[in-house]
Structure 1
Amino acid sequence: MADAERQPLVRKRSKRPAFRLLRKQERAYRPSTWDVVILAAVAAFGILAWQISASFVRRHDDPRRRSYPGEKITWTSCGTLVDHQLECTNLTVPMDHFNSSNNGPDNSLHFTIPLIRLRGKNATDNINILLNPGGPGGSGAEFIWRWGAQLNTIIGENYHLLTFDPRGVNGSVPRANCYPTEEIRRELSVVRNKKIVEDSGELWAWAGNFVQACADNMGVHGAYINTPQTAADMNSILDAIGQDDMYYWGFSYGTLLGQTYATLFPERSKRVIIDGVVNQFSWYNNIFDDEDLTDTDNVFDGFVDECIKAGKEDCALAELASSKEQLREKLITSIDQLRDDPIGVYVNTSIHGVLDYWAVWYDGVFPAMYKPANWRTLADNLAALLKGNATAAFMAYSREGPWVSLFDANTVIMTNDGVSGPKNWPVSGRQELVKQVIDFYNSSTSRLFNTALSHEGHFEKQAWKIPRTHNYVPTKGVKTAHPLLVLTTTYDPICPLVSAKSANDAFVDSKIVEVKGYGHCSLAVPSLCINKHVRAFLDEGKLPDDYTQCEGDGNPYFGKSDDEKKGLVNLQSSSWTEEEKRIHLAQVELARDLWFKPRWQG
């Protein structure tokens, strides 16, 4: 692979996953066709969730309003999801939980946070499991509408599933938004950012304007859109529903939120699951975070290895090489040639354009590392490309889809949380910053995807004008009300196993359960073993005695049978119970869903 000087500052954003969700960069987003269907679904779900969160607070005389003993809030029925009741409400929380003097006269400065709950049919104890889908910037409302049915099947009917749009996100008020209107966003958010050296002048100038616009547009609230404040919001949610103990399952960035909550409020952390773990020490303390990509190259190697094992009948790329080493080199070399020689693709008078390296590598290959159940499609597209037919790859990775704004929560939260601003990034000018970034990329643990780290927005972080208002510092030796359950895959492309081990070291008596396989968060690999550990933990507080590994079920990569091609085991011949079959089907649906995507893909 070429040195970092030839690498792109790729279109950025989103952590985590996964599972680091609803992420949106501040620049004009040009989604590929891979994104078109997803973005359309995101738009539909997001609009629905936004409309719900914006409307139910106005229904003061709605006959569907309901309340429950012990709760301090009133809910409004907001639909059903696979014969389960959904109910919604809004909660007002202080702008600053940690210093009330910042909240203005009569505590007039606050955030309004939408809550949505899927009621479990047998939740006799009225225990709510709080969920966070990731991001930062992931919408809980969208999460429930999209995944609530599957998660209910996996967790069981003994719990209500409760989630929320965090402060600054989606239906919360005010939102993290650096532009006053969507029209202005489209006009002002465009910047060239593929080549770090060649495009750095424009990016440097643009970043200065962007960070000033963020500060001006959000006003005083902007400084309080951060993870520690959101963790405190979760206590406000517990208090509102009359629940003393935190039951929580967080994915990707949601693991950072979970770790932050457990450190700030260990006495209430009774059942905390973190899945696809972010290293909180790097997130809060480091200018650069290289640990994210520790296993990304290993996941790509797994894609190549599984393809060769499957053979040409099940992986289209396998006929182009006789070994995994040969196929790996062929893919890297062929795609790299698109840097200087992109391909013009003409479909018809309405559909034509250019397929370049950045589209294939960062909008095609890298996102597929999150969800190996979709590797077969990636292999088909790449095989056609290497044979001279670029149409499928162009349609999947380069086509402009509907323009969808997810606002700027991802940028604002990440930058407010971490080390940002000229005082923390002292450079004499653009060239010095470029040298820092290039040196960082060249020292990355990933040689193939090192510039994926540009999704962290280094130019914006360096120029950031909003002051850091939290003083949260991650610590080790945290003893919680009950030890944490830490879930991970063996090879996660963005939240690696080593980060799960950092959380395991930080929280006393916490235990890791690793599902053997590739992908982002445990839900990337269907596994009844993982499910049994989750249920035992939630129901009984039971943790394994030591580090535990789980096998996956079925072949989520390049299966040969019709069932395996869908990621399924042969349910006809299995000895599983009917409930276990339903759980497996739900896990497979989640494993194939492209919810967890790189930050820059929203």
Structure 2
Amino acid sequence: MSRRARIIASLVGALTLLGLHLSGDILQPRSASHARDITLEPEFDWYALEPSERIQWTPCFSGQKCARLLLPLDYGTPDGPTTAIALRMIPASSKEEYKGTILINPGGPGGSGTDLVARAGQNISRIVGDSFDILGFDPRGIGASTPVASCFETDSQRKLWALQEGHRLLNVTDDTLAIRLAREKAVAQRCDEKIGGERGIGRFMSTPDVAKDMLEIVQQLGQEKLQYWGFSYGSILGQYFSAIYPDKVGRVIIDGVYDAHNYRAALWNTNLADVDTVMDSFFHFCHEAGPDKCSLWKPSAKEIRTSYFDLLHAVETEPIPVPLANPPLLITRKVLQSQLFRASYKPLLAFGIVADTIRAIEQRNQSALIELAPKIVDPVECKCTIPEPWRSDTEAFNAIACGDGDQHPYDPDTYAAYYKDLAAQSQLVAPLWGIHYLQCAEWRIRPKWRWTGPLEAKNTSHPLLLISPRYDPVCPLTDAKAVHERFGGSGLLVQNSYGHCSLSAPSLCTAKHVRAYMVNGTIPEAGTVCDPDELPFIGSVRDIRTMSAEDAELLEAVKGLSDVVPMFGAL
């Protein structure tokens, strides 16, 4: 596609996303607000930026810097093929006390770091302080890095394939399991053809490969050690880096911590320990907030919960059609369970939408459901224009998560026992989370470099800082505690909140600890707990008028991160 054609396509896409017409991760499904943020930025053509073996910064995005760095595709053959890694940096505004560059990772696996800079870079800079550069990179195979791990020719193909999944929830006792297995087998075989092979990008996207890329980036920046803030899967990347290169750890924060041992075993069976507690908080906070703030309010949290589950059962036999939504929408049990699970990642922003949805269904309010439709399911529309390649989704989750993990070919008895264990943790989420095991059971592309060494370090050159909500739907506190024990001298900060990663619940206390750690290397005292400053439905619990100007600005920056909570897993 020519540059002129790409610009025209981008402008058409911008109009589409603004509502004149109307895009998930994996991880990280894109929201409409995310898409608007990106398309309203100054136009920038990543592929017109010449990649080089040394970082060559080019001005981009109104005062920022961009580059494409050529690194070996296979570190075992450094003179062989290369991958071009996209870098996007917000330079430090204070040069007097310059403290270097912080790399950030949004999770996934499959999330774009350049995109995270677009959506959250300025607020991250305000939190850590203006003496740091903030650098987001697209890991190999992802975003604007090339080659791209895409097994479909277009996003439209991928979305049309997703539509064939249907409305039935996964169940090990009926044909939904066979259908899901067949779908995962189809994707795996397609990816074998598209990104497999001896030099296919699918073999060179492993987490140790990306950790080595990070080390190369840091060294080219002239830094001796890594400074890093990684979220969700970014916590896995942080653990790998710190275990492989313990003497290269500077300031490393892992936020929303998944146990890398469980991840590498490809088990996916510790994640849901607290998800029901997070979802149950929906009923509690709705009741506590009162009828003016929660549309589903009833005299007790128990009654709200009963109302929700009664409706959930009702739509099993009588789905709700919304014929005048664009496109038409059918609300089924799967739709509602998926909505509440996704909302558990960021209760502050999404619980209200769940309440409004249930209330509108109870009242059979078609006007309200039409308005809510884009927030109930991601709208899908077939478009003639092709979006910029770096804005498309990929199959990176499978390549990274399944490639990093042990192989578990599908066995009916083994999977039945696995699913039973998931369902014991959460009946609602087991049908949604159980797909990850199946994805990896059918995946056949194996990485050239897979780390099988220790995922711990008695000593790192500087202690890690782990941050965990008390109740995280997919990265439980128990995992954070296990990782904390494996990295000598590390600190663990618990945020007394519900949701995924600390970003899901703004906390001035947490922000201050992050800044103290990045600026001075200060580890919070053992047992430190921070409270959130805003609660779902209820709103702010701190009067900003009583704060200093500095604290008010810091809290505002943290609140600005609430919409960039990573979606961990291939939702």
TM-score, normalising length: structure 2: 0.85
Residue 122 of structure 1: which of 87, 91, 94 is its match? 94
Determine if the alignment matches structure 1 residue 524 to structure 2 residue 504: yes
Q: Distance in 1 between matches of 2:50 and 2:134?
A: 20
Residue number in structure 1 paired with 2:16: none
CA distance in 1, matches of 2:45, 2:346: 30
Check 1:367–1:195 CA distance in 2 against 1; reply closer, same or farther (3 A cut). Answer: closer
Aligned counterpart for 2:330 among listed residues 341, 354, 374: 354
Q: Structure 1 residues 182 and 308, CA, compared in 2 at 3 Å: closer, same or farther?
A: closer
Asked if 2 retains the 8 angstrom alpha-carbon contact of 1:89 and 1:116, the reply is yes
Q: Per-residue deviation at 1:74?
A: 2.0
Match for residue 416 of structure 2? Answer: 435
What amino acid sits opposite 1:54 in the alignment? Y
Residue 68 of structure 1 corresponds to: none
State the AA in 2 paired with 1:235: L
- What's the counterpart of residue 308 of structure 2? 331
Are 2:37 and 1:56 equivalent residues in the alignment? Answer: no
One-letter amino acid of the structure 2 residue matched with residue 538 of structure 1: M
CA, structure 1 residues 402+278, in 2 after alignment: closer, same or farther (shift >3 Å)?
Answer: farther
Counterpart amino acid of residue 132 in structure 1: N
Choose the corresponding residue for 1:41, options 36, 40, 52. 36
Separation in 1, partners of 2:93, 2:68: 23
User: 1:211 and 2:188 equivalent?
Assistant: yes
1:132-531 residue pairs with structure 2 within 5 A? 132-182=105-155, 184-185=157-158, 191-192=164-165, 194-196=168-170, 197-218=174-195, 219=197, 220=199, 221-286=201-266, 288-319=267-298, 322-347=299-324, 352-362=328-338, 364-374=339-349, 375-389=351-365, 391-392=368-369, 394-398=373-377, 400-402=379-381, 405-420=392-407, 424-425=408-409, 427=411, 435-436=416-417, 438-443=419-424, 445-456=425-436, 458-469=437-448, 470-531=450-511
- Seen in structure 2, the aligned counterparts of structure 1 residues 460 and 234 have a Cα distance that, compared at 3 Å, is same
1:23 to 25, 46, 56: 25
Q: State how far apart, in whole Å, the 2-side matches of 1:579 and 1:589 are.
A: 16
Which residue does 1:13 correspond to in 2? Answer: none
Contact 1:425 1:462 in 2 (8 A): yes
2-structure distance, mates of 1:86, 1:568:
35
Task: Say whether the 8 Å CA contact 2:169–2:431 is kept in structure 1.
Answer: no
CA contact (8 A) 2:37 2:119 kept: no
Count of aligned pairs: 528
Q: 2:108–2:232: 8 Å Cα contact kept in structure 1?
A: yes
Indicate which of 73, 78, 81 corresponds to 2:55: 73
The DSSP-based 3-state class of the residue aligned with 2:50 is helix
Q: 1:238 to 1:192 in 2, by over 3 A?
A: same
Displacement after TM superposition at 1:272 (Å): 0.5
Whether contact under 8 Å (1:304, 1:328) holds in the other structure is: yes
For the 8 Å contact 2:106–2:232, the answer to whether it is kept is yes
Task: State the partner residue of 1:8.
Answer: none
Work out whether residues 75 and 88 of structure 1, in 8 Å CA contact, stay in contact via their aligned partners in 2: yes
Per the alignment, do residues 498 and 370 of structure 1 end up closer, same or farther by CA in structure 2, a change over 3 Å counting? same
Partners in 1 of 2:81 and 2:478 — Cα distance? Answer: 40
Deviation at 1:109, TM superposition (A): 1.7
Q: Is the 8 A contact 1:284 1:473 kept in 2?
A: no
Aligned to 1:16: none
Q: Distance in 1 between matches of 2:555 and 2:521?
A: 23
Deviation at 1:233, TM superposition (A): 0.6
Contact 2:73/2:204 (CA < 8 Å) preserved in 1? yes
Cα drift, residue 190 of structure 1: 5.3
Seen in structure 2, the aligned counterparts of structure 1 residues 132 and 433 have a Cα distance that, compared at 3 Å, is: same
> 2 CA distance for matches of 1:396 and 1:249?
29
Partner of 2:17: none
Q: Tell me, yes or no, if the aligned pair for 1:95 and 1:224 is still in contact at 8 Å.
A: yes
Q: Aligned partner of 1:74: which letter?
A: Q
Letter in 1 for 2:393: L
Distance 1:358 1:43 in 2: 30
What is the letter of the counterpart of residue 489 of structure 2? D
Q: Which amino acid aligns with 1:133?
A: P
Alignment root-mean-square deviation, CA: 2.8
Amino acid of the structure 1 residue aligned with 2:146: V
d(CA) in 2 for partners of 1:22 and 1:134?
Answer: 13
* Alpha-carbon spacing, 1:214–1:179, altered in 2? closer, same or farther (3 Å): same
Distance 1:414 1:160 in 2: 29
Q: Which amino acid in the other structure matches residue 254 of structure 2? A: I
Structure 2 vs 1, CA of residues 114 and 536 (structure 1 numbering), >3 Å: closer, same or farther?
same
Matches of 1:532 and 1:495, distance apart in 2: 23
Match of 1:579, as an amino acid? E
- Provide the rounded CA distance (Å) in 2 between the counterparts of 1:23 and 1:352: 24
**Is the 2:507–2:531 contact (alpha carbons within 8 Å) kept by the matching residues of 1?**
yes
C-alpha distance in structure 1 between counterparts of 2:504 and 2:183, whole Å: 37
Question: How far 1:399 sits from its partner (Å)?
Answer: 6.2
Q: Distance in 1 between matches of 2:331 and 2:316?
A: 10
Partners of 1:399 and 1:260 in 2: CA distance: 33
Contact 1:179/1:185 (8 A) holds in 2: yes
Q: Which runs of 5+ in 2 are unaligned?
A: 1-22, 383-390
CA deviation after TM superposition for structure 1 residue 205, in Å: 3.0
Partner of 2:49: helix, strand, or coil? helix
Q: Deviations over 1:378-408 (max 9, x none)?
A: 3222222233336435453146344684111
Q: Which runs of 5+ in 1 are unaligned?
A: 1-20, 61-70
Aligned-partner residue type, residue 71 of structure 2: V
> Would the alpha carbon gap of residues 580 and 342 (structure 1) be closer, same or farther in structure 2, given more than 3 Å must change?
same
Tell me the equivalent position of 2:71. Answer: 93
CA 1:39–1:436 in structure 2 vs 1: closer, same or farther (change >3 Å)? farther
The one-letter code of the counterpart of 1:37 is A
* Cα deviations by residue, 1:343-385 (Å, 9 ceiling, x for unpaired): 122337x6533111111220x2112111122223332222222
Q: Is the 8 A contact 1:246 1:271 kept in 2?
A: yes
Identity of aligned residues (%): 28
Q: 1:510 to 1:133 in 2, by over 3 A?
A: same
Distance (Å, rounded) in 1 between the aligned partners of 2:490 and 2:402: 29
| Residue aligned with 1:201, SS | helix
